[in-house]
Homo-oligomer: A and B are copies of this chain.
Amino acid sequence: MDREQRRAQILAIAAEVFAEKGYHDAKIEDIVARAKVARGTFYLYFEDKRGIFEELVSGFVRQLAETIEPIETVPDSDPTRVMRELRSNLLRLVERFTEEPAMAKVLFSAAVGLDADFDQRLLAFYEEIAELLERSLKQGEEAGLVRPGHRRIRAFCLTGIIKELVYQLILRRAVSEPAELVDAMLDLVTDGLFTDPVREAVRASSAPRATR
């Protein structure tokens, strides 16, 4: 087993251990024992415990980012194509998580609240996603696909939906299939929750409040 393989093996095992036990309950001892290497060997490949954890998280974050394909939304885009591409982006993203359940658990559990420093980095990561979504919403508005609205808040709403669905998909076994998840979610953000009469009523009652 050459150097890169050994490194990758330890990395993969560390992901499992962090996923199972969380950052603090995962001991270097647990990792090396499962990898069947000596304690010292670990430090030949990784700077320290924090180092391997950051590498794990940032590597997974990079993978997630690569999963997303930009969607072109020029003014006269075909709405059907845009929706199709959006759907497949979401599907690939959700599937990325289901393919790496350990890393999903690490990202949503072990990496949260680790310390002030790490929290900042996670926040920055979600900020990037939110900004990508914001830009997409802007393009969508400009292309006449998206109803105008508070883009930043919407961006966070969408982030929240995805995070929670994946969180539930991973942490419990069940919920449902990625495709079902994505379709239900798209249904929600496409048509909203309510029936037309409700919508009418809401619109009528909020009209006097003027345009916000």
Chain A residues packing against B (C-beta within 8 Å):
20-25, 78-80, 82-83, 108-116, 119, 123, 126, 130, 137, 140, 144-147, 149-150, 152-154, 156-157, 159-165, 167-168, 171-172, 175-176, 180-181, 183-185, 187-195, 197-199, 201-202, 204-205, 212
Minimal beta-carbon separation of A70 from chain B (angstroms): 18
B contact residues around A187 at 8 Å (CB): 149-150
Bound: A111/B112 CA distance, A: 9
A192 touches B195 (CB 8 A): no
B171 touches A190 (CB 8 A): no
CB-nearest residue of chain B to A212: B183
Bound: A147/B201 CA distance, A: 15
CB-nearest residue of chain B to A22: B113
A149 touches B184 (CB 8 A): yes
8 Å CB contact of A189 from B23, B111, B188:
B188
CB-nearest residue of chain B to A119: B109
CB-nearest residue of chain B to A148: B195
Minimal beta-carbon separation of A202 from chain B (angstroms): 5
What are the 4 closest A-B residue pairs judged by CB atoms, nearest first?
A: A160-B164, A109-B113, A112-B112, A192-B192
A180 touches B160 (CB 8 A): no
8 Å CB contact of A123 from B114, B171, B212:
B171
Minimal beta-carbon separation of A26 from chain B (angstroms): 10
